[in-house]
Chains A and B, each alone.
Chain A
Amino acid sequence: MRTNGHSAAFRRFAVASVLAAALAAVPMTAQAATTPAQTPGFADIVAPGDYFVGPDGQPVPIGLLGGPSDPDVMTPFLIDPVDHVQCKVRNNADHAIVKFSAKKVSGFAGGEITLKCGTATSSGYKHIQSGKQADWQARSNQEGLGRAWDDMMAGVVSLTLSNPRTSTIQTGNKVCYSANFILRDKNGILKAQYDSRVIVSANNKIIITAIPGGGCR
């Protein structure tokens, strides 16, 4: 399991491409036993010229925060071979994939929030995948960097939890975090704008669901 804080969200791990190439060459059974020498994190989630609107309402160019995107560098993977086996082969709903750092907001202390494998009908990775994979992939396609839906989702969740623009307490000990994302092309033309929506269990400290739109309303 990885820990992914705000600063890590912008770090680039070129080792991921090396790791990916190495893993692609070995059988799945061998992959399951592989422990990465360096754990991949999440690269800058959108292209230069795209903006993440911070909690103060000021747009922050992602490129300035994370350095220019390099399309030749493979971005990291949310699901590593161990996660793959736990989530998709063994169906271990309690397996923890990654931890995010959530900012303290009104009514919730924040802290470490875990994304687990979960199930389609409950919470976590599989619930997000169920019904919303295409939505995340569509956002990734708008981004235009060829990122897999779940890598895109994890990057947005990380930013949203660490720097929410809005948050609300929901029924059933749920907390909604939201941030605004603005995607522009290199000419400054608006490609997409959306308010992320990340629902967290306040008492279990896990990700229940994440949506690339809707905001907290």
Chain B
Amino acid sequence: MTLHEVRLMNEYTISWPLWHNAAPAERDDFDLSPELRADLEAWAKTFNDHYDWESGWDDHSLIEDHGAAAKDLRDRLERELGPAYQVQLHLWEC
């Protein structure tokens, strides 16, 4: 079985943090629960609202929770997407 690679990664100005096929994914590229969709968007929003490209995090107390949320999102993505997908987390901002 061919594994489809999906990357979970934040990037400046990107509000939907899933990537595949060499580019940011579209929101309807994957069949995900509304709860997971909302949490993915919230995770990306936290990054875009609080991480500045020049100075980094404006609130360092967010870093630990942000990192933990990333791993939780990765695990939930793996469960919802199933065995045909390989989810990679690239957490460069922590």
Contacts and interface: CB of A to CB of B under 8 A. Distances in A.
A27 interface: no
A131 B53 contact: no
Interface residues of A, number: 29
B24 A213 contact: yes
A131 B54 contact: no
Interface stretch (B6-14, B35-43, B66-74, B76-84): B6-14
B52 interface: yes
B27 to A, nearest CB: 11
Contacts, number: 60
B13 A174 contact: yes
A209 interface: yes
Contacts of B56: 121-122
Contact of A131 (B9, B13, B21): B9
**Interface residue range, chain B:** 10 to 19
A211 B11 contact: yes
B4 interface: no
Nearest to B24: A214
Most chain-A Cβ atoms within 10 A of its Cβ — which of B9, B14, B21, B23? B23
Main SS of the interface on chain A? Answer: mixed
Contact of B24 (A120, A172, A211): A211
Nearest to A128: B11
B53 A123 contact: yes
A212 interface: yes
B22 to A, nearest CB: 4
Interface of B: 7, 9, 11-14, 19, 21-24, 48, 52-54, 56, 90, 92-93
